[in-house]
Each structure stands twice: as structure tokens, then as C-alpha cells.
Amino acid sequence: MKRVILMALMTTVIGLLPGPALAAEKFFTLVGTTSTDNSGLYEKILPLFTARTGIKVRVVSVGTGRAINIAKNGDADVLLVHHKTSEEKFVAEGYGLKRYDVMYNDFIIVGPENDPANILGLKSVVDGLAQIAATKSFFVSRGDDSGTHKKELSIWKMTGIDAAKASGTWYREAGAGMGATLNTASAMPAYTFSDRGTWLKFENRGGLRLMTESDPLLLNPYGVILINPKRHPHVKAKMGQAFIDWITSPEGQAAIKAYRINGRQAFFPNAKK
Amino acid sequence: MTDFSDAFAAAIGLVLGLDTSLTEIVGLSLRVSLTAVAIAAFIGLPVGAAIALFRFPGRFFFVVATNALMGMPPVVVGLIVYLLLSRAGPFGVFGLLFTPTAMIVAQVLLVTPIIAALTRQVIEDLWIEYEEQMRSLGAGPGRAVPALLWDGRFTLITAILAGFGRASAEVGAVMIVGGNIDHVTRVMTTSIALEVSKGNLALALGLGMILLVLSASINAAAYLIQHNTKRWHA
């Protein structure tokens, strides 16, 4: 019995210990994509916003598909993702107030150094994927309904090849975030479709190298949306809007522009003035 | 394999440098898992003992259910707690999602079946040994619950440690309900997963080593307490 009492005491004591976040703290929750987080951008620019406004940002990073789902449930205040069609649908369905352009970067194809599909130097990403399929070279897909995954599928569609049919053979669906997918590709080794930010920051490249870039099809625009407070009254609309105003302001845009990974600009601001 | 030596260096660097974010992450891990295990023990010990000692209709179901729930995948528990605590779910009004409290709730659900199932086994074995004696003293199952829990306390510590092991090692549930938010809900396992996804394999493995050392120290402390008090009683 003593032990039970001891346990009860322990529970109370531990439960009472102050957490790292006190109730009085001003914060809102941003749900965004893994690619932005893995690229290290938030660590750099969010402290600037906090310094200016005193508002802390709690970032939850998941794939775009789940991020939109979390936002629809009202479990976050602001959504920052990269799949324009889904974002516009989100706003049209009344879940979000308005979509603002924030920035863009681009997607790339990386692959094994020995380049079994011989795509290095190809200007067209559609041709590149077609050649990977023709040579049945290993290709790892995110396979997680993220923005990157959706973009990859849209380019497969243009090649006229049904890659999903080959799933399990040369086409492998990892069902994982960008970093985990790059880990898989580097271990196989295989080609994969990645955003540039995560790739620049990625440290376990092994024998992978950059294969295809700069095709206009590979542009990757990010949008930011405040969750509709009419649908979810608890949404911290004021703080969320303050963040959107800041990140689309000259100051926020300059912070995005100044962010470098290994000396390279990773994101290009494009908010409309 | 330079990764292992790099990992070792990373772990030592983090510990010696008393990295503040590391202490924060370790502190939160301990706070979440210890609280969850304490609550789970508070529920699981008496429930397990009651299932062991009382005969009631549906008892078979309870025994099988607690044993089966020991194998519940953390990610499923995480999903269930997510759906319950989501703003769109039944407990959404409390706004508990993405807080340490949500992580504790998920871990309580994970650990309680383990403690209850192991307790049931321990108490059932003790009851076989003591039933005759206790009945002759006029003590039925009701009186036997606290007596046998006390008698089996040293073995039950192992049940609680098994629960703690499960709580401190799982990543699936806390990732979903906590969201791995820096400075708020980031614990050891979720930061290991994050570093892996960034390709920082050495740092991830280094964090894993620290987690292993922490777990070993808690187990060693429990063993020593168990051992010394046993000698005290003998």
C-alpha cells in the first residue's frame, strides 16, 4: 500500500513540475511541410519574428497532405505548404481565409553517380523520368501524399508512364518524409525527386549527386493561409495574421532571401506587394 | 564505419558541452515518461491484481485483452489519442493536442496494459502460494489485493520498469500527438527521428547512446534499491 501512496505522491509532484512552456506565453501553431523544416529555414527566420512581436511559433512538420488534414481539423492556426491546387481548394472549401504567396524554390532529381539511366545533363525532367522508367533504374518516391509526392506524380503523368504500376519493382514508394526518402535513395542507390532545400542541407548523400535541375516545370511555390476562425473559433487569428503580415512584409521577405545553405540561397521570396 | 566513432564523439560532445537544448529534451523525456508510468502503475497495479484474484464473468476477456494490448503499436495509440484530442474530436475543447499532456495520455494508454498484465501474472502466482493460508485467516480476495501487491513489490518493480522501457523508447505515439515541436514537445526519440531525417546519422546515434545510458541508470538505480531493501528485510 505504501508503494501505491508513494506512486500517487510521485505523480502529483512530477505533474506539478513546470513545463518548458508557461500558460502566459504568447504563441500560435504553424503546421508546415517537412521540407521547409528540414532545410533549416524556420530556425533562422522565426526568431526574427519572435523578436519583433514577442509571439512564439510552434512548428509541427508533416507532409502537405497531413498538414492540410491537421489544418482542416483546426489543430493549427496557420498552414504553410507547397501544393497550390490543394491550397486553393482548402480556401475555396472555407477552411482557410486567403492564400498568400510567400516564396518558392525548386525541385531537383538526384541519383547515383554512375547514372544508370544516363539522365545527367538532360534539360527536360519529363525526358529524365521517361529514361529512368525505360531503363528500369531504381527510383524512390516519397509515396506519402506530400506536396513533393504530388508534384512528382504530376510529372510522371506528363511522361504518360504509370509508375505506380511498377511499384515494388524499380519504382519504390518509401511512404516517408523527404530526409528519410533521401536516406533510402542513398543506400540503394536510386534516383529520387527532392526539393532543393532538403538536398542542400542533407548530410548523408553517399554516392548521390544532382542530376536534373532548372526545368521550369520544377518550380515549387509555397503559400501561407490562416485557418478560418469562423469555422474554428479557437484559432489565434490575430497572432496568425501578424505572422502572415510579417512573412510577406519586406522584412520577412528579406529574411527568407538572406537564408543560405552552404553559401547558396535556398528560397526565393515572391510575396505580392 | 566512421559513423560509430562520430556518434560517440557527438554524444560525448553533447554531454560535456551541457548542451541546453539537450538538457531540455532529456528533461521533457523524463517528465513525460515518468509521469505516464506513475499514472499507469497507479491504475495497472490494482487492476492487474483484481483480475488475478476475483472471479467474475468476462474475466477471460479481460485477461486476453490486457495481454493483447501489450502489443499495441504506438502509432495506433498515437492516432487514437490524436483523433480524441483533435479540435474536431470529442475532447477538442481542451486544446491538449501538441502539448506534453497529450504525450502523457498516449503513453499511459501504452503502458497501463503492460503493467496490468504483468501484475496479474505475478499476483496470480502469489495467490496460488498463499490462498490457503490467507483464507484460513479469513482474508478473501478483497483483503488479499493490497497484501499481495505489497508482498510482490520487488517483482512488480520489474513490471513497472518494463512499462518505463516501453514509454521511453517509443516514438510513434509521441510524434503524432506531440508534433515534435522544438522547445515544447521534442523528446529524445522524436529528436533522434528528426536527425535521421536530416541525414545527421552520427548525431542521431549519439542521442541514441545518451538515451541508452539514461535508461541503464534508471534500471540500475531501481535494481540497487530493490536489492538493498531486500537485504534490509532479510
Backbone dihedral angles phi then psi of residue A32, each to the nearest 5 degrees: -140, -175
Task: Assess A93–B contact: CB distance below 8 Å, yes or no.
Answer: no
| B198 contacts A203? CB cut-off 8 A | yes
Give the model's confidence band at A20: pLDDT under 50 very low, under 70 low, under 90 confident, else very high. Answer: very low
Residue B38 burial class via C-beta count within 10 angstroms: exposed 0-12, middle 13-18, buried 19 and up: buried
Mean pLDDT within B145-168? 92
Q: Chain A: residue nearest B150 by CA?
A: A1
Give A22→chain B minimum CA distance, Å.
10
Q: Give Cα A183 to chain centroid, integer Å.
A: 16
For A164, B35, B91, B100, the CA distances from B61, given in Å and listed in that order, are 43, 28, 28, 33
Q: Does B45 touch chain A (CB under 8 A)?
A: yes
Closest CA in chain A for residue B44: A4
Q: Which residues of A touch B27 (CB under 8 A)?
A: 20
pTM: 0.84
Assign A249 to helix, strand or coil. coil
Q: Which of A142-146, B43-47, B87-91 tops mean pLDDT?
A: B43-47
CATH class as words, domain A106-218: alpha beta
For chain A positions 154-193, those within 8 Å of chain B (CB to CB) are: 176-180, 182-183
Rounded distance between C-alpha atoms, residue B234 and residue B232, angstroms: 6
A17:B31 CB<8 A:
yes
Number of A to B CB contacts under 8 A, please give it: 98
Rg (CA), chain B: 20
CB contact under 8 A, B197 and A60: no
- What confidence tier does A25 reach under pLDDT thresholds 50, 70, 90? confident
Nearest by CB: A234 against B42, B87, B181: B87
- The Cα A67–Cα A51 span in angstroms is 26
Enter the C-alpha cell of residue A42.
524556420
Q: What is the pLDDT of residue B177?
A: 95
CB–CB of A74 and B88 under 8 A?
A: yes
Answer for the pair A66, A190: CB distance below 8 angstroms, yes or no.
Answer: no
Over the stretch A91-106, which tens digit does the pLDDT of each residue have? 999 999 999 999 999 9
* CATH number belonging to the domain at A26-105+221-269, selected among 3.10.150.10, 3.40.50.2300, 3.10.20.600, 3.40.190.10: 3.40.190.10
pLDDT above 60 for B79: yes
Contacts of B174 (CB under 8 A, 6+ apart): B32, B74, B78, B103, B106, B107, B180, B185, B187, B189, B190
Cell numbers describing residue A112: 547515383
Neighbours of B233 (CB within 10 A): 7
Q: If pLDDT is split at 50, 70 and 90, which confidence band does A3 have?
A: low
Q: Using CA coordinates, name the residue in chain B closest to A43.
A: B182
- Out of B35, B87, B92, whose CB is closest to A14? B35
Mutation site for A-interface testing, chosen from B154, B183, B198 by largest number of A Cβ within 10 Å: B198
Give me the interface pTM, i.e. the ipTM: 0.80
Task: Fill in the DSSP letter of residue A235.
Answer: S
Q: Give contacts of A201 with chain B, Cβ < 8 Å.
A: 198-199
The three cell numbers of residue B103 are 504525450
CB A195 within 8 A of CB A39: yes
Query: Could you tell me the three cell numbers for A166?
Result: 511498377
Per-residue 3-state assignment (H helix, E strand, C coil) for A31-56: EEEHHHHHCCHHHHHHHHHHHHHCCE
A263 vs B76, residue with greater confidence: B76
The number of C-alpha atoms within 13 Å of A64 and in the hemisphere containing its C-beta is 27
Residues near B42 by Cβ (< 8 Å), separated by ≥ 6?
Answer: A4, A7, A8, A11
Name which of B155, B157, B158, B184 to mutate to probe chain A: the one with the most chain A Cβ atoms within 10 A of its Cβ.
B184
- Cα–Cα distances (Å) from A74 to A21, A25, B86, in that order, read 21, 20, 8
Domain ranges of chain A: 26-105+221-269, 106-218
Condensed to tens digits (0 to 9), the pLDDT of residues B174-203 reads 999 999 998 899 999 999 998 888 888 888
Beta-carbon separation of B181 and A58 below 8 A: yes
CA distance A180 to B35: 31
- What mean pLDDT do residues A236-245 have? 96
Is residue A137 within 8 A of residue A170, CB to CB? The reply is: yes
Q: To the nearest whole percent, how much of chain B has pLDDT over 70?
A: 98
B197 contact residues in A (CB cutoff 8 A): 34, 38, 176-180, 183
| B185-188, long-range: CB < 8 A, 24+ apart | B185/B28, B185/B98, B185/B99, B185/B100, B185/B102, B185/B103, B186/B25, B186/B28, B187/B25, B187/B28, B187/B29, B187/B32, B187/B103, B188/B25, B188/B26, B188/B29, B188/B214
- Domain range list for chain B: 2-233
Q: What is the pLDDT of residue A52?
A: 95
Find the residue in B nearest to A34 (Cα).
B197
**In this structure, how many other beta carbons lie within 10 angstroms of the beta carbon of residue A232?**
20
Q: Please determine, for residue A14, whether its predicted confidence score (pLDDT) is greater than 60.
A: no
Task: Answer whether A121's CB lies under 8 Å from A214's CB.
Answer: no
The residue among B207 and B7 whose pLDDT is bigger is B207
- Find chain B residues with C-beta within 8 A of A38's C-beta: 197-198
Q: What is the pLDDT of residue A1?
A: 47
Interface residue A14 vs chain B (CB under 8 A)? yes
Mean pLDDT, chain B, rounded, equals 90
Kindly state the cell numbers that stand for B86. Answer: 483533435
| Per-residue pLDDT tens digits for B107-155 | 999 999 999 999 999 999 999 998 888 888 888 888 889 999 999 998 8
Q: Residue A210: which of A166, A270, A254, A264 has the closest Cα?
A: A264
C-alpha cell at B132: 490457503
Q: Work out the percent of chain B whose per-residue pLDDT is above 90.
A: 62
Q: Which CATH class is domain B2-233?
A: mainly alpha
Query: Choosing among A2, A6, A7, A148, which should be mutated to test the B contact, i.e. which has the most B CBs within 10 A?
Result: A7
